[in-house]
Structure 1
Amino acid sequence: MIGWYVHHHGHGHLTRFLAVRPHLREPVTVFSSLEAPAVLPPETTWVALPADADVAVAPDGTTRDPRDADPTANGALHWAPIGHAGHRARLATIAAWIAETHPDAFVVDVSAEVSVFVRLLGARTVVVTQPGERTDPAHTLAYDLADRILAPWAPGMHRTPSLDARGERVVRVGGISRHDGRDTLTPREPRRVLFLGRMLPPEHLAHTVELLRTAGWQVESAGTADDRVDDVWPLLCRSAVVVTAAGQNSIADAAAAGIPAVVIPQDRPFDEQHHTARVVAALGCATVAAGDPSPDELVSLIEQAAAEPADWSMWQVRGAAARAAAVIHEVAARADSPRDSAPSATATDTDRDEVAA
């Protein structure tokens, strides 16, 4: 049995789980505040966790904002508010399941607190990491305790001081995409562009679309507002260019499709997307926007991207989800053995010098 914590901010952590899950042999129990997918993979159980960031109401009717309840424990943690019922119930639910089930491994994507808590309960942990300056005390402790640290990028893609001291416990598997292995469905249409995700203010996007259509472009969008699409693969296949943020899943999906891209990094904790955008720019995989491009500038970037071939081979998407599952299987296989610091089998085919911070 494998446990898996899915963080509730955005849908990227869930998407990554769904990409890896088909490659796991064991039953999996997922813990998350997200709503369960309409269709769960076979042998997968979803445990809904209560929210831990809402305003707490005391028995006497008074309210308390968890942001005012020392949530960082004097800077040692990211989120552990004092006296919050939802926070306590989340951890209690996970603890009860571990005590009853005795899982072979527990994957945490992502939470420093859950990583530490699960290890304190005696479970082997696979901690998913992300790009950025993650040298703070909470990340340091989570990485120190992890049996394996799973990095969803290829070797050499990121300089990661927070991971350097962890040596071969860090396994870089390549970019994990839910579309890995899927066939291209239709030929690309040379003047079709896809806006994927919420990157631009609505009026900014509307002006850009108007300019593009005037210039002879066909425009599609998915996830920019209320236009969520369950399967964007057909849109990626037929478009000549995708405009996307620099999140791990977005970049991996573009790489899986081999599509020219304009990347607009978004502000995220620990500068995650800006780190990824610098890597993409250094490798020449895609065209990266500097700052917030105006509609005219964005149209120029799209024209530029369409005129240049896209080579995403260094992102190592093919087989990445299976390699991630292999890391989890390796940890699970040692569930009842004393802690073993031996490295896992090489999870990627090539290594190279680091290309960007």
Structure 2
Amino acid sequence: MNRPIGYYVHHHGDGHRQRALAIGSMLNNVTLIGTAMAGKADHLPTLDLPDDRLGEDFSGVDHVERPSALHYAPLDHEGIRERTALMTGWIAQARPRLMVVDVSVEVAMLARLASVPTVYVRLNGRRIDTAHLDAFRGATALLAPFHESLDDDDVPAWVRGKTFYAPDIVRSLPSRSHEGDGVVLVILGRGGGISDGDKWADAARSTPGRRWRILGPCTIPLDVPGNLDLRGWVDDVAPHICGADVIIGGAGDGVVSAVLTARRPFICLPEDRPFSEQLSKARRLAATGGALVRYDWPKQEEWPVLILQAIEQADHWPACLTDEGGAERVASWLDSLCPATIRGRSDIA
């Protein structure tokens, strides 16, 4: 059997895990590596890592002086010591042919120091700080889970040249269903979002002729209008997206990829993220015509007009957002990156 591919999965939000599952299911030997991965990887083998956060309300900042080539390096953290030992121990024993890192500058550097070729998953945003650029330089290649047309304008040419653009990694959605006609679908992810139920209740009241459906974590409004349906967390959003007249959501990779694949009218409300990740993607969506973007919360009377504008805009679908994607294509590309000398030859196995 070929030596494995390691796939590091960041724990914030659920998009990293969904990508890993989609790509991993297409590879013949992969191990998913991440915090509390046990029970979250379907049938795929895992390396479960202890938590590296500083507390329950951890903001992602370590508040210590550190080299500019690192993003997160707290001192005297037992979980990080254990994680490092587990990962380097696995590398020494499994001798992986490749490590996909989605995402962590520190894990990418650790793998490179352990003599493992890396593929760094490059997210949207203005990621031209020292730490990101060093991780990009050290990687064999970069994987962007979005259309090339949505890449940030400030990305250096050499970074673009190392990048494999791959929209629609998680799944290909079915053709549009008419079962949910009239539905305005709001998608709120685990990574954050506008979860104030009273705001969404006011929005729903603005269009009494439409049904509003909210997927994801949301507070219960004090007064729930009859056309507002709170569904909570849903594992498979594809049927809901394909059956909706309009989608409202942030500019995270998962939501954007699913909506663009289904070619549905999209009102994008970008959320605050490190390195302006969602703001960057939202600006490119607006520039290409892939979404109607609002950077502030619309007034109640604006919603009917916004919905009609989004529907009208989607009638002129941008050709630049029809690139080929899919997890199988990514898996084939990853396999092609592994030199023949490390694909499981009997003389070095």
The two structures have a TM-score, normalised by structure 1, of 0.82
* Number of the residue aligned with 1:204: 199
Range that drifts further, 84-93 or 31-40: 31-40
Q: Which residue of 2 aligns with 1:80?
A: 73
C-alpha contact (below 8 Å) 1:241/1:259 kept by paired residues? yes
Deviates more, 1:237-246 or 1:327-336: 327-336
Q: CA deviation at 1:318?
A: 4.0
Q: After the TM superposition, which residues 107-146 of structure 1 pair with which residues of structure 2 at under 5 Å, given as runs?
A: 107-146=100-139
Tell me the CA shift for residue 132 of structure 1. Answer: 1.2
Q: TM-score, normalised by structure 2?
A: 0.84
Counterparts in 2 of 1:189-268, with a 5 A limit?
189-197=180-188, 198-212=193-207, 215-225=208-218, 227-268=232-273
The one-character-per-residue Cα deviations of 1:233-275 (angstroms, maximum 9, x if unpaired) are 1111111111011111110000111111111001100001111
Equivalent in the alignment of 1:4? 7
C-alpha separation between the residues in 2 aligned to 1:156 and 1:66? 31
Are residue 23 (structure 1) and residue 42 (structure 2) matched?
A: no
Q: Secondary structure at the match of 1:23?
A: coil
Please say if residues 35 and 48 of structure 1, whose CA atoms lie closer than 8 Å, have aligned partners that are also in contact. Answer: yes
Q: Tell me if the contact between 1:252 and 1:315 (Cα under 8 Å) persists in the aligned partners.
A: no
Amino acid at match of 1:266: E
CA distance in 2, matches of 1:336, 1:71: 39
**Aligned residue in 2 for 1:176:** 168
What's the CA shift string for 1:259-294, capped at 9, x where partnerless?
Answer: 111110011000011111111111111211132223
Residues 16, 176 of structure 1: 8 Å contact kept: no
Say yes or no: does 1:293 pair with 2:284: no
C-alpha contact 2:171 2:327 (8 A) present in aligned 1: no
Aligned-partner SS, 2:100: strand
> SS of 1:242's equivalent?
strand
TM-fit CA distance, 1:23: 2.6
Distance 1:129 1:153 in 2: 9
Which residue pairs with 1:49 in the alignment? 49
Q: Which has the higher contact order (CA 8 A, sep 6+)?
A: 1
CA shift digits 1:19-67 (9 cap, x unpaired): 222332x2111111144455614xx2122211111259xxxxxxxx998
2:346 aligns with none
> 1:277 and 1:55, CA in 2 relative to 1: closer, same or farther beyond 3 A?
closer
Q: CA deviation at 1:74?
A: 4.2
Residues 1:32 and 2:34 aligned together: yes
**1:168-218 C-alpha deviation (Å, 9 max, x unpaired):** 322223x234231x4226226442110011335222112112323xx3001
Asked if 1:155 corresponds to 2:148, the answer is yes
Contact 2:69–2:132 (Cα < 8 Å) also in 1? no
Q: Could you say if the C-alpha distance between residues 304 and 127 of structure 1 is closer, same or farther in structure 2, counting changes exceeding 3 Å? A: same
SS at match of 2:53: coil
Contact between 1:4 and 1:107, CA under 8 Å: does it hold in 2?
yes
Secondary structure at 1:235 match in 2: helix
Report the AA paired with residue 284 of structure 1: G
Structure 1 residue aligned with 2:284, among 279, 300, 313? 279
Residues of 1 paired with 2:303 and 2:341: CA distance?
51
Q: SS at 1:165's partner residue?
A: helix
Give the counterpart letter for 1:237 in structure 2.
Answer: C
- Whether the 8 Å CA contact 2:36–2:51 is kept in 1: the answer is no
Q: CA deviation at 1:144?
A: 1.0
Identity level (%):
30
> Per-residue deviation at 1:141?
1.2
Distance 1:278 1:334, change over 3 A: farther
Structure 1 residue corresponding to 2:310, chosen from 290, 305, 308 = 305
Report the more deviating stretch, 199-208 or 242-251.
199-208
Aligned residues between the structures: 322
SS in 2 for 1:144: helix
Q: 1:331 to 1:310 in 2, by over 3 A?
A: same
Q: Residues 252, 37 of structure 1: CA spacing in aligned structure 2 closer, same or farther, 3 A cutoff?
A: farther
Distance in 1 between the 2:91 and 2:6 partners?
8
Distance 1:195 1:246 in 2: 12
Match of 2:222 in 1: none
Query: Could you tell me how far apart the structure 2 residues matched to 1:104 and 1:266 are?
Result: 37
Match of 2:330 among 318, 321, 324: 324
Letter in 2 for 1:176: D
Q: Are residues 68 and 107 of structure 1, via their aligned partners in 2, closer, same or farther at CA, if it must alter by over 3 Å?
A: closer
